[in-house]
């Protein structure tokens, strides 16, 4: 398996989607244990997209360096640039899958803040898929897949 550092545009797309899929009263929130092992709430808000994007990019870079046995060095600067248009949940889901694949080689990935961000963004994408709201919550009808 090869690994690569995703483009800044990839990070911008994930962060843009997170901002777009939030409500004013409900910003995108994920939970992660800090260095003191206390779980903290983190949020993506209009005032911190560069900080969140830098966290994602650093997780990806750490994984690639770990994969290739490179030493950690100075990370390039990241500055968020919002993408125009409305994010497509399917495109964002694929972008999350790519980002996770490129970022999961580091042993800290399973408990990382970046992974928690991806899970929250994935949940928000799924909620926006066509037909999701109309689908039944409980599946008790054995003919459920026969309906179209």
pLDDT one-digit tens code per residue, 4-46: 999 999 999 999 999 999 987 889 999 988 777 788 999 999 9
- The Cα–Cα gap between 57 and 75 comes to 9
- Does the structure show a pLDDT above 70 at 1? no
Position 147 pLDDT exceeds 90: no
Tell me how far apart the alpha carbons of residues 10 and 3 are, in angstroms, rounded to a whole number.
15
* Higher-confidence position of 33 and 147: 33
Q: What is the pLDDT of residue 33?
A: 82
> Model confidence over 98-125: pLDDT tens digits?
999 999 999 999 999 999 999 999 999 9
Amino acid 2: pLDDT: 81
Write down the pLDDT at residue 72: 66
Token reading at 95: 């972008």
pLDDT digits (tens, 9 = 90+) for 44-90: 999 999 999 999 999 999 999 998 988 766 666 899 999 999 999 99
Res. 95: pLDDT tops 70:
yes
Which of 2, 19, 5 lies closest to 117, judged by CA? 19
Residue 132 DSSP one-character state: T
State residue 25's pLDDT score: 83
What pLDDT does residue 9 have?
98
Strand ranges, E, within 1-139: 28-33, 39-44
The reported pLDDT for the residue numbered 100 is 97
């Amino acid at each position: 398996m090869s690994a690569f550092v995703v483009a800044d545009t990839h990070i911008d797309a994930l962060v843009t989607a997170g901002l777009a899929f939030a409500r004013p009263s409900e910003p995108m929130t994920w939970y992660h244990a800090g260095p003191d092992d206390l779980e903290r709430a983190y949020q993506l808000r209009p005032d911190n997209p560069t900080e969140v994007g830098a966290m994602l990019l650093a997780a990806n870079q750490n994984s690639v360096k770990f994969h290739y046995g490179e030493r950690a060095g100075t990370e390039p600067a990241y500055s968020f640039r919002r993408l125009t248009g409305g994010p497509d949940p399917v495109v964002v889901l694929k972008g999350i899958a790519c980002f996770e694949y490129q970022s999961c080689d580091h042993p800290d990935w399973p408990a990382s803040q970046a992974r928690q961000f991806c899970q929250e963004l994935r949940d928000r994408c799924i909620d926006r898929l066509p037909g999701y709201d109309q689908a039944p919550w409980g599946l008790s009808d054995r003919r459920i897949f026969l309906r179209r």
